[in-house]
Amino acid sequence: ICRERYNLILFSNNVAKVGIRKYILLRVRLAFLFVSLLALLIIYKVMNIQLVEGERWASRARGVEMRDVQPTRGSILADDGSLLATSLPFYRVAIDPTVVDSALFYQNIDTLGQLLATFFKEHDAKYYIDLLKEDRRKARKYRILSKKIIDYEQ
């Protein structure tokens, strides 16, 4: 009597009558049946696409054209060509005045100073000439020529 009452309390109407073992077995069989039907449906669809609709899909695949789209440097483009993001590299210009031999350095220092003054527009040519001569005399290996950061287009 206790066992029957226990079964009736734990399980709903039909489950109490059938028993726990048969109930679990029924659920496993239903799950197996559902998964088997799903697998058969997938196999049917694959076979249908391969055998029945194969030529139609093959002709559509032949019509697709693949081509590389070369973006401008630093840009990330969407598939329609619109700009999503851009990142531009920036540089600091530096020089090592000790690399060049003395004759070449002193022969062209005036021209270099003039070109640096024209490009950066921060100081005059005499400033750059004196700066590079002093760095060469003190054997400095690295001199940043400007505080201005330039991009790759300059």
For residue range 50-84, list pLDDT tens digits in order: 999 988 888 888 887 877 766 556 678 888 888 88
Do 112 and 147 belong to one domain? yes
Q: Is the dihedral of CA 135, 136, 138, 139 positive or negative?
A: positive
| Within-domain flag for 76 | no
User: What are φ and ψ of residue 86, in 5° steps?
Assistant: -140, 145
6 vs 53, residue with greater confidence: 53
Please say if the pLDDT value at position 123 is more than 50. yes
36 vs 62, higher pLDDT: 36
Residues 47 and 9 both lie in one domain: yes
Residues 29, 18 contacting (CB under 8 angstroms): no
**47, 63, 79 - which closes a domain:** 63
Domain of 48 in residue numbering reads as 2-63
CA atoms within 13 A on the CB side of 61: 6
14 plus 56 within the same structural domain:
yes
68 in a structural domain = no
The tally of domains found in the chain comes to 2
Residues 144, 103, single domain; the answer is yes
In a domain, residue 78? The reply is: no
Same domain, yes or no, for 13 and 51? yes
95 shares a domain with 58: no
Asked whether the whole model's pTM tops 0.75, one would answer: no
